[in-house]
Amino acid sequence: MFVNWKIILLAAFVCTGCGTDITTSNKESPGIGSCTSPINSLSGSLTSGVKKWGTQFNWDVGPSMGGIDLVENQMTLIFKTYNGKTPDTLTEVVVTAWMPEHKHGTGNQVPRTEFGQRGEAKIKNIWFSMTGLWELIIKATVNDAADELRFCVNVGE
């Protein structure tokens, strides 16, 4: 398993004095997730927890760690309302990457959202510091429905 020590050391440095691991380097811990059934396809559809909305996902780059130099992974999300319509508004799209097995996130590098066509968001700046199972937490407000979903990906080299 490859590990990017530069990122880990940076995260550990930020966390000096607050613990022995890099868990607390994430401003917001998404909590202990389960990541046992990764979605290995590069595109597909997902539904938020209480079916308030759905989203198509497509990996434009990745998901991979990319060896020593890392890779900026990118994903396109196309949101639909609970009844499959293109939403009038899409706001508050925040994606977090979390590695449940080791209880760490991506340190100071957080995924960034760029809004596209109606209902569409591109997620950039997704950096995986290790290979293995990562959970992606997608929060969004589709029309007025605020909800989140989590899914698991297997990050390769």
* 52 within 8 A of 59, measured Cβ to Cβ: no
- CA triplet 88, 47, 97: central angle to 5 degrees? 100
Q: Output the residue with the shortest Cβ distance to Cu ion.
A: 102
Q: Does 103 bind Cu ion (CB under 5 A)?
A: no
Distance CA 42, CA 35 (A): 17
Q: Does 102 bind Cu ion (CB under 5 A)?
A: yes
CB of 149 to Cu ion, least distance (A): 22
Q: Would you state the structure tokens that stand for residue 53, as one six-digit string? A: 């909305």
Question: What one-character DSSP code corresponds to residue 143?
Answer: T
* 112 within 8 A of 143, measured Cβ to Cβ: no
Residue 141, strand partner residues: 91, 146
Q: Does 122 bind Cu ion (CB under 5 A)?
A: no
Using CB under 5 A, which of the segments 35-43, 71-79, 122-130, 137-145 binds Cu ion?
122-130
Q: Does 99 bind Cu ion (CB under 5 A)?
A: yes
CB of 134 to Cu ion, least distance (A): 8
Q: Does 130 bind Cu ion (CB under 5 A)?
A: yes
- Which parts of this chain interact with Cu ion (CB under 5 A)? 99, 102, 130
